[in-house]
Structure 1
Amino acid sequence: MTSSTPLKTTLRGALLALMLPLAVAPAALPQMAAAQGLFDPVVKVNGAAVTRYELEQRATLLKLLRAPADPIKLAREQLIEDRLKAEAAIANGVTVDETMIRAGMEQFASQGNLSVEQMVALLARGGVAEETFREFVRAGLIWREVTQTRFGPRVSVSEEDLERARAATSGAAGVRVLLSEIIIPFTPQNEAQVLAKARQISEITSTGAFSAQAQQFSATQTRDAGGRLPWQPITKLPPVLRPLVLGLAPGEVTDPLPLDGAVALFQMRDIQETQTPDPVYSAIEYAAYYIPGGRSPDALARAAQVDAITDTCDDLYAVAKGQPPSVLERGTKSPAEIPDDIAISLSRLDPGEVSYDVTRANGQTLVLLMMCGRSQSVAEAPGAGADGDAPDETAQLSQQIASRRLESFASGYLEQLRSEARIIEY
């Protein structure tokens, strides 16, 4: 669903995260629909009203999905855009039927391993009506159809485009970045306050101010250094971070990135192109040792002790001897398979190094991570496809380039619609 204000987190993570806040979210109050002024307009877009009820419902939905922005502000922006998109659909002769909407709802829910009925029931417990979810999906489908109808025929991908993309993704054009990080844990009780603080930090443009916030709030081992990380190639960062980081100018900070029980922010301090190609990693081997107690002093002291007596992943077997097998996990995964919080923590590590800023079990278990090793990608055999690419990989790359171009056209069109619209806010 293309939008100028996208949710910057995976839908799977958002939907899985939905279940915890619902346990403490206020129940919906049907009688609110009759409250005075609830159906009064808060915005009119070319005469089409957005009611207070719609605004509150969308904001509640975004909050349950842990949108990394102020829910009310984001809801207002999305609903204004929804009115513009609906108007554009009429102008371009685009419609979506009930079958398409139902399929869209199923696809959205399935990314959290839920059925539509389960998704609707969970949202209802959090105070969100089924119609709100349906309209959220419908707006995305309408805009997808509008952009395909209006701009699809204009999007093409040349072999030169593919070559540039191959060079960028293979590390042929080296890029390294100098980042600072802040990762703030939260509980269900203080989640709203932590996310509000994270939004404030995301507006910072001073490296000194960001480092001061890191020293005060960050839970990572880099906090004493003001969250400052050393130079690292962009290919060493987890997939979720690369597009966010490459979109920053020096001094800028990412939007808050929701993790499991925490929120992360990254500031760009500097970026450089290098002559040496960066390695591209196909697999990462790491070990996770689970320590009860979360971020308690005893658990952190135990993690520091384990760090002091181990040099390799093999050493962790002696540490875990006599304990249940579940306290130690070791395996090899592709970068895309690793959870975002673990991938971010691992990106700082060289083989044999550890970190212990990730938790599980709602913060009750501290996870000591050790990097065992990284495997670099092996070039495809000659003749596998165009310029060594397998045919399906070439098609996937072409689709990604086309999608980015289509999104760029769509964003420009939406901005044009907004600039020409008569928007009255009450």
Structure 2
Amino acid sequence: MNIGVTKAIRAGRSSVLALAISSLASAAMAQTAPHAPAPAPPTQEDQEAALAAQLDLPRDLKLFGKADPNVRKPTAIVNDTVLTGTDVDQRLNLIIALNKLNLKPEERDQYRMMILRQLIDETLQIQEAKANEITVDSKEIDQSFASVARRLQKTPEQMRAFLRQAGASERTMRKQVEGEVAWSRLLRRKVDINVSDEEAKAILDRLKAAQGSEEYHVYEIYMNATDDRKQEVYAGMQRIIQQMKEGAPFDYLAKTYSESSTKGQGGDLGWVRLAPGILPDEMAKAVEEMQPGQVAGPIPLTTGFSVVYLADKRKVGMADPRGAKLSLRQITINFPKGTNEAQATARAGQFAAATQAIKGCGDASNVAAAQNAEVVEKDGVVIGDLPPALQQIILPLQVGQVTQPFGTIEDGVRVLVVCGRDDPPPPGLPSIEQIQDGESDKRTNLRAQRMLRDLRRDALIEYR
């Protein structure tokens, strides 16, 4: 919402599977990192005066002719393929259902226009694949549909019922799968990118030199802002952050609003280091101060503003401590019904004092008995699977140490005692072949974006 984005099929677009098992968990996105406020933007009056002077506009505008409402309707004919309002609505409902979104009416309108653009791209991709005699067999689409259903713990028939209830359809999901597979095959046929051994070795040498340094997985939404538009853009980006807090996925907001070259990948910058020249200084400073799961912005840049999301961070070539497996003992006290906050606070204080005196797991049962508390053993718990706040508490603990008490009056207060810890082995550096594959994927995605841009430029698109 942590925004763990599933890797898209080489075209750089989120797949149906990515939607189903998605991506950016809303609760984590709702966190925001503190950041210095932007300089006061110009007033609306200043903007209007500057723009009027620049374009030589009259003060009182009079419109002639009739406004064409058709350009506002989310339907289109793409070359010879008709995209209807039903197509747009069903795809939108699919996204809402799979991501459990709660959109306001104005946000639905924004998403509809985004979906229309995506359907146009998808249609162009399928058309270009067919022009190159590439088709996708219906059995392959059946297999993909069944795979999505399994990931959602449903049978194919249950999945169809789920889609109908959500106002979507099997057809819209199958169409998206067809577009992704056809485009992927077209790229494999047309795009031949070879990364030489020398290039891969140079990348490997840089990774060796960077071992132990921090690396950050960053997403961005960037919007250009000339002097006359700073106030407008800044306010717009604040609304985007509010949509994230209300549950909108970061990657879809990036695809809708971002003006960066990363827009097609949902704003994904990949893993970056904060070396000079990698990120703008203002962004680098914000990222360095953030914790995974936080959003910062709007960050003022030379040419506009950015909102950044930190999905994760790690040390190059080092084991991720969050991959450690723990053996834990959980000690819990519950409060009688009717306990008020003052009583619960006093009881929790006694419990905290007693549990902080625990001398290793062997002493946990004695303290629990004295506190009339429940003890539950939990083995094989991966730190990275715990809630982010709890991860930060447990990460520095050694075997035999105890967490601070946490919980609520309703659910009780508990502590965790670390009884065992198996740290993951260092991942090591990638092989030459892995580097070549990764670089080839990156370059293929860039080539795919250019191909899609050319298809858009040459297409006949009529909005209805």
CA-CA distance at 1:52 after TM superposition: 0.5
TM-score by length of structure 1 reads 0.55
The residue type equivalent to 1:117 in the other structure is: E
| 1:249 to 1:93, Cα distance in 2 relative to 1, 3 A | farther
1:195–1:128: structure 2 CA closer, same or farther, 3 Å change rule? same
Q: What's the CA shift for 1:133?
A: 1.8
| Distance across 2 between alignment mates of 1:130 and 1:105 | 8
Q: CA offset at residue 107 of structure 1?
A: 3.2
Following TM superposition, by how much is the alpha carbon of 1:158 offset from its aligned partner in structure 2, in angstroms?
A: 2.8
- 1:281-316 Cα offsets, whole Å, 9 max, x none, are 3732455859789xx979996888877754899569
Show the counterpart of 1:161.
200
CA contact (8 A) 2:89 2:168 kept: no
Residue 277 to residue 100, structure 1, CA distance change in 2 (3 Å) = closer
- For the pair 1:377 / 2:452, whether they are aligned, the reply is no
User: In structure 2, what is the Cα distance between the partners aligned to 1:349 and 1:67?
Assistant: 30
* Correspondent of 1:89 among 126, 129, 140: 129
The CA deviation at 1:54 is 0.5
Cα gap change, 1:9 to 1:317, in 2 (>3 Å)? farther
Instruction: Give the counterpart of 1:174 among 204, 210, 213.
Output: 213
Pick which of 112-121 and 99-108 moved more: 112-121
Shift of 1:42: 1.5
Cα deviation code 1:198-240 (max 9, x no counterpart)? 89998999xxxxxxxxxxxxxxxxxxxxxxxxxxxxxxxxxxx
- Judged with a 3 Å threshold, the aligned counterparts in structure 2 of structure 1 residues 417 and 132 are, in CA distance, closer, same or farther, namely same
Mapping of 1:297-316 within 5 angstroms? Answer: 309-310=355-356, 314=360
1:281 is the counterpart of 2:320: yes
Please tell me the residue identity of whatever aligns with 1:54. D
- State yes or no: 1:132 paired with 2:172: yes
Matches of 2:436 and 2:142, distance apart in 1 = 29
**What secondary structure is seen at the aligned counterpart in 2 of 1:154?**
coil
Distance 1:419 1:313 in 2: 70
Higher relative contact order (CA 8 A, sep 6+): 2
Partner of 1:45: 78
Shift of 1:62: 0.6
Check the 8 A contact 1:342/1:358 in 2, yes or no: no
Match for residue 329 of structure 1? 378
- 2:97 corresponds to 1:64: yes
Distance in 2, Cα, partners of 1:121 & 1:313? 55
With 73-82 and 162-171 compared, the bigger mean Cα shift is at 162-171
User: What CA distance in whole angstroms lies between the structure 2 residues aligned with 1:366 and 1:54?
Assistant: 50
Q: In structure 2, do the counterparts of structure 1 residues 41 and 346 end up closer, same or farther at CA, with 3 Å as the change threshold?
A: closer
% same residue: 17
* Deviation of 1:130 (Å): 1.5
Q: Give the length in aligned residue pairs.
A: 325
Q: Partners in 2 of 1:304 and 1:100 — Cα distance?
A: 60
Which SS does the other structure have where 1:80 is aligned?
helix
Alignment correspondent of 2:296: 267
Q: Quick check: which has more Rg, 1 or 2?
A: 2
Q: Aligned in 2, Cα 1:329/1:10: closer, same or farther, shift over 3 Å?
A: farther
Offset at 1:57? 0.2
CA–CA separation in structure 1 for the residues paired with 2:169 and 2:119: 16
Name the residue aligned to 1:243: 270
CA distance in 1, matches of 2:160, 2:153: 13
* Structure 1: 5+ residue stretches without partners: 18-36, 180-190, 206-240, 254-262, 381-387
Counting only pairs closer than 5 Å after superposition, residues 24-423 of structure 1 correspond to structure 2 as 42-66=75-99, 71-151=111-191, 153-156=192-195, 158=197, 160-161=199-200, 164-165=203-204, 168=207, 172=211, 174-175=213-214, 194-196=246-248, 243=270, 264-267=293-296, 279-281=318-320, 283-286=323-326, 287=328, 289=330, 309-310=355-356, 314=360, 317=364, 326=376, 329-331=378-380, 333=382, 338-339=384-385, 342=387, 346=391, 350-352=395-397, 375=423, 377-378=425-426, 398-423=436-461
Secondary structure of 2:324 counterpart: strand
Instruction: Label 1:48 to 1:141 Cα distance change in 2 as closer, same or farther (>3 A).
Output: same
Give the partner amino acid of 1:421: A
Q: Distance in 2 between the 1:64 and 1:56 partners?
A: 12
- The secondary structure found in structure 2 opposite 1:243 is strand
Letter in 2 for 1:76: L
Aligned-residue offset at 1:67: 7.7
**Is residue 21 of structure 2 the alignment partner of residue 13 of structure 1?**
yes
Change (3 A) 1:348 1:364: closer
Task: Report deviation, 1:64.
Answer: 1.2
Residue 159 of structure 1, CA deviation: 5.7
Q: Which one-letter code corresponds to 2:423 in the other structure?
A: S
Q: Is the 8 A contact 1:62 1:71 kept in 2?
A: no
Shift of 1:280: 2.5
Q: Does the 8 Å CA contact 1:85/1:142 hold for their aligned counterparts? A: yes
8 Å contact 1:5–1:77 — kept in the other structure?
no
Shift in alpha-carbon separation, 1:90–1:357, aligned structure 2, 3 A:
farther
> Match of 2:121, as an amino acid?
E
Alpha-carbon separation, structure 1, partners of 2:249 and 2:341: 24
Residues 377, 135 of structure 1: alpha-carbon distance in 2 compared, 3 angstrom cutoff: same
